[in-house]
Amino acid sequence: MTEASRSEHADDTRTALSSATIRRAFLDHVFHTQGKPPEHASQNDLYQALAHTVRDRLVQRWISTSEAYLDQPSRTVAYLSAEFLIGPHLGNNLINLGIYSEVEAAMQALGLDLEQILAQEIEPGLGNGGLGRLAACFMDSLATLEIPALGYGIRYEYGIFQQAIIDGMQVEKTDSWLRNGNPWEIQRSEWAVQVRLGGHTEHYTDDRGRYRVRWVPAKTVVGVPFDSPILGYRVNTVNTLRLWRAEATEAFDFPTFNRGDYLGAVSKKVTSENLTKVLYPNDETEQGKELRLEQQYFFVACSLQDMLRLLAADGMPVSRFHEKFAVQLNDTHPAVAIAELMRLLVDEHDLPWDEAWDVTRQAFAYTNHTLLPEALEQWPLPLFGRVLPRHLEIVLEINTRFLEAVRIRFYGDDSRLARLSLISEHGERHVRMAHLACVGSHAINGVAALHSRLMREDVLRDFHDMWPEKFTSITNGVTPRRWLALSNPRLSRLVTDAIGEGWVTDLERLRALEPFADDAGFREQWQAARRDNKVALAELVRDCTGVAIDPSSMFDVMVKRIHEYKRQHLAVLHIIALYHRIKSAPNLDLAPRTFLFGGKAAPGYEYAKLMIRFITSVADVVNRDPQLRDRLKVVFLPNFNVSCGQRIYPAADLSEQISLAGKEASGTGNMKFAMNGALNIGTMDGANIELCDAVGADNFFAFGLTAPAVYALRAAGYDPAAYYHRNPELRAVLGLIQQGFFSHGDPAVFRGLFDEHLRHDPYLLLADFGAYVECQQRVCEAYMQPQHWQRMSVLSCARSGHFSSDRAIREYCERIWRVKPVPVHLLHRASGTPRHADSGIRAGKGH
Ligand code: 26W
């Protein structure tokens, strides 16, 4: 019996999982939902119809899940994140439902190609990079582990911009991901809430003689929830991702309208709705924009009201909020939730401050995702007070009480007080959101061992002195469903044939592949699967860029946001070094390589944009040189996103993880590459350290300064010129750039990239260059022994089990959230049948 036919009995027949039922349901949706006879259906019609077919099969599980949660009230994770980089839903749902092959067969029977239909989905790009993608992997693992959880965020109308490359430079285009409609969301207007902004506060004594504060807002907006189902792998749990959209309280401002100013009346509506228009495209630089603070407060205020509604539905008083919810702050973006919960408890529900503070601290936990000082959020006090006058008072009250406690603990240590204060007093006064998050949470975690250590010893050191017991480290992970089962079916099949399918939910089982690394027959199949993936990627590259690449060359890949600390330019310096070597010694025996880059630069980050231009300019020179044909190719793949990633990770031979040690909090691409059998070349930074440890130093190309060595070098006085003078190859490489060799003879183009910067070299490019090039030489030699390379590739995958997000989520559950699984049983009833025969249809509670 197949998985699908087994569950057939358990299912309402309308939503059965057999190929024949799916085919019928699909045709029904083409006709009734899309309103087209099949012969006139567009590709989009086919996609929408299939999405609805699959959605119907999720809804039954979704309803069963919310009823299970109502029947067995239990502690629930509320994952607050300004970003969820979900990626396309359809393929993932097919995998998790276990009906990929049934649907493939159903489509085939109709003469349709499933892959082509899947490619129609416009992915929800509601995140910038690692942090948003981590939130999405965590949602998948929470559902798979049957943990009651809600993801709360913002339904941006425009997600991360679409990147085009024109004349070698990044051009941004808006991402109107909703233009064809979104079959994966259900608008829940009945749970809309109001959110206040601006205005002032009034302090008064109420009729019972109590001191009270009233917030008189300048404006009110409405938050409307849009729910998307998040299905676990082969379980009935479907959790909810609840994203909020801002709407105007009244479609028209009638007083203005009645004065005859029609456009003025509409413009107020437009202003409210601007709140959730667009995702801020900055990754790791804080800009302090008012609208961004409004976005953060908006989604947090909506989410907390929603949680209070659910708490009431369980019949629990607000004083037990923390028993019902474990609220995780994904970085400081939602940290204002701490002040908002205090406001709700104290101002609106009359709890005494101390009790409210206990509830708050037991509910919240905070994950830090970055050590870069420019990424630590701080809001100028006047701005904060203008947008959130009551919250500023609350933050100041929290601070007064907190500093009181510090004074008692560290008597006379005034500089410590200044360092710990929620308000920074350097120049203009600012609210430090990381400090608010630390004080208001019972747990604080970093995302890899090194990152957590640096967090304790450096950025949050004073908080660690204060409360060492709050600190913990949970290394990131990625979901093997999307990043292996879905994206790499060829390798997955091979793995399952060898060791069974248990690895999908218990990734440590990949270790059973280890003996196969020495099996020549298996290695051959491994290589063949990976080669097919490379051929497929080569087609994509040709379609997107027009460049033909050779699948037998080494695919050397660097895909991630463009940032100085990630050092894409270091990778380019190496390419130029190879170019220079081949030009000087044309018979040099080197493994042919294709360098693939991808990633977006923040639109206002000029240096990062110049790095893209640098990559494409070097690509132009290298790819045009007949002497280098079949030896080196350089490609910049535009618009790197989740869908692209799904095609790139499975086809990479080598992955570049070359950030300056101490800068990359974790990295998660490194894990996706390793799982798919690529080898990593990397510095001892972030999770690279643990990954290198897990796969074994023989299967990881480690190089460069370690974090302590960086620290020591800086302390001793770093002199980039010394490295320059010592290394003739480095001089040759920089010389070519300075002469304008990659900029049509114009030396000015890349001056901004190197001249001034290399005098200071803040990311220690020159210090790591020699070690990097030398390590790349070892990579080259290893690649030239295919048996050896394939063996390493198998081992890299076999030993990557620790980096599953299931493991990470288990650690959060045990160490921070104290939540337990709630298994969900499918309700055996046809759609539309009320729960109790005598109850009829009535407006009910809900999750
Ligand atoms: C306020 C501007 C801003 C925007 C985004 C500041 C900081 C961010 C994020 C914290 C940046 C981010 O995505 N950090 C990444 O988080 C990943 C998941 O933990 C880590 O793997 C990456 O190393 C880290 O850079």
Residue 775 forms part of a structural domain: no
Whether this prediction's pTM lies above 0.85 is answered by yes
Q: Amino acid identity, residue 750?
A: F
Percentage of the chain beyond pLDDT 90 is: 91
571-596 pLDDT, tens digit per residue, is: 999 999 999 999 999 999 999 999 99
pLDDT for residue 591: 97
131 and 65 belong to one structural domain: no
Cα(470)–Cα(492) distance, integer angstroms: 40
788 is catalytic: no
* CA–centroid distance, residue 131 to ligand 1 (Å): 5
Q: What is the dihedral of CA 834, 836, 842, 843, to 10 degrees?
A: -90
* CA–centroid distance, residue 739 to ligand 1 (Å): 36
645 and 540 belong to one structural domain: yes
Residue 722 forms part of a structural domain: no
Confidence at 11, pLDDT banded by 50, 70, 90: very low
* Ligand 1-lining residues (CB < 6 angstroms): 128-131, 134, 282-286, 331, 369-370, 375, 377, 447, 476, 664-668, 686
Residue identified by tokens 């809600």 is: 150
Cα(474)–Cα(448) distance, integer angstroms: 6
Give the residue, out of 138, 283, 368, with the most ligand 1 atoms within 8 A of its beta carbon, to mutate for a pocket test: 283
pLDDT for residue 838: 53
672 is catalytic: yes
pLDDT for residue 4: 44
pLDDT for residue 5: 42
Strand partners, 162: 173
668 is catalytic: yes
Residue 730 forms part of a structural domain: no
Cα(512)–Cα(228) distance, integer angstroms: 36
* CA–centroid distance, residue 433 to ligand 1 (Å): 15
160 and 305 belong to one structural domain: yes
Q: Is the pLDDT of residue 843 over 60?
A: no
Going by CA atoms, what residue is nearest to atom 10 of ligand 1? 369
Percentage of the chain beyond pLDDT 70 is: 95
521 and 447 belong to one structural domain: no
Cα(662)–Cα(659) distance, integer angstroms: 8
| Angle made by CA atoms 372, 375, 377, in degrees to the nearest 5 | 130
Instruction: Count the domains in the chain.
Output: 3
What number is the average pLDDT over the span 819-828?
93
Residue 776 forms part of a structural domain: no
Residue 564 forms part of a structural domain: yes
What number is the average pLDDT over the span 668-672?
98
- The whole-chain average pLDDT of the chain stands at 95
Q: Is the pLDDT of residue 268 over 80?
A: no
Buried b (16+ CB within 10 A) or exposed e, 16-25: bbbbebbbeb
- Structure token digits, residue 559: 């895909």
33 and 103 belong to one structural domain: yes
* CA–centroid distance, residue 713 to ligand 1 (Å): 26
What number is the average pLDDT over the span 271-299?
92
Other residues' Cβ atoms within 10 Å of the Cβ of residue 274: 15
455 and 577 belong to one structural domain: no
**Burial of 759 from C-beta contacts in 10 A (0-12 / 13-18 / 19+):** exposed
297 and 378 belong to one structural domain: yes
DSSP secondary structure code for residue 659 in this structure: P
pLDDT for residue 523: 98
- CA nearest 4: which of 95, 84, 97, 78? 97
pLDDT for residue 253: 65
Here the CATH number for the domain that contains residue 271 is 3.40.50.2000
Q: Is the pLDDT of residue 724 over 90?
A: yes
Assign 3-class secondary structure to 611-655: HHHHHHHHHHHHHHCHHHCCCEEEEEECCCCHHHHHHHHHHCCEE
Confidence at 286, pLDDT banded by 50, 70, 90: confident
686 and 559 belong to one structural domain: yes
Cα(10)–Cα(474) distance, integer angstroms: 38
480-493 pLDDT, tens digit per residue, is: 999 999 999 999 99
- Ramachandran category for residue 519: left, alpha or beta (phi over 0 → left; psi -120 to 50 → alpha): beta
pLDDT for residue 2: 43
Q: Is the pLDDT of residue 778 over 60?
A: yes
Residue 432 forms part of a structural domain: yes
Q: What would the DSSP string read from start to end of 705-772?
A: --HHHHHHHHHT---HHHHHHH-HHHHHHHHHHHTTTTTTT-TTTTHHHHHHHHHH-TT-HHHHHHHH
The active-site residue out of 432, 451, 672, 847 is 672
Going by CA atoms, what residue is nearest to atom 6 of ligand 1? 284
Cα(180)–Cα(86) distance, integer angstroms: 17
Residue 712 forms part of a structural domain: no
Assign 3-class secondary structure to 94-117: HHHHCCHHHHHHHHHHCCCCHHHH
Question: E strands, 426-527, where?
Answer: 430-432, 443-446, 471-473
64 and 133 belong to one structural domain: no
Host domain of residue 646: 480-704+782-803
* Shortest-distance atom of ligand 1 to CA 377: 1
**Are the CB atoms for 570 and 765 separated by under 8 Å?**
yes
Confidence at 832, pLDDT banded by 50, 70, 90: low
312-349 pLDDT, tens digit per residue, is: 999 999 999 999 999 999 999 999 999 999 999 999 99
Strand 193-197 and strand 186-187: pairing? unpaired
467 and 494 belong to one structural domain: no
Residue 288 forms part of a structural domain: yes
pLDDT for residue 517: 98
- CA nearest 796: which of 591, 653, 594, 666? 653
pLDDT for residue 260: 76
- Ramachandran category for residue 563: left, alpha or beta (phi over 0 → left; psi -120 to 50 → alpha): beta
* CA–centroid distance, residue 368 to ligand 1 (Å): 9
Cα(48)–Cα(184) distance, integer angstroms: 10
The active-site residue out of 432, 561, 802, 807 is 561
Residue identified by tokens 């440890």 is: 693
Residue identified by tokens 């990147």 is: 163
More confident residue, 271 or 740: 740
Q: Is the pLDDT of residue 773 over 60?
A: yes
95 and 140 belong to one structural domain: no
Strand partners, 327: 78, 364
* Count of helix runs (H) and strand runs (E) in the chain: 34, 23
What number is the average pLDDT over the span 103-112?
97
What number is the average pLDDT over the span 219-234?
98
552 and 644 belong to one structural domain: yes
Q: Is the pLDDT of residue 603 over 60?
A: yes
Q: Amino acid identity, residue 322?
A: H
Cα(810)–Cα(113) distance, integer angstroms: 38
**Are the CB atoms for 325 and 307 separated by under 8 Å?**
yes
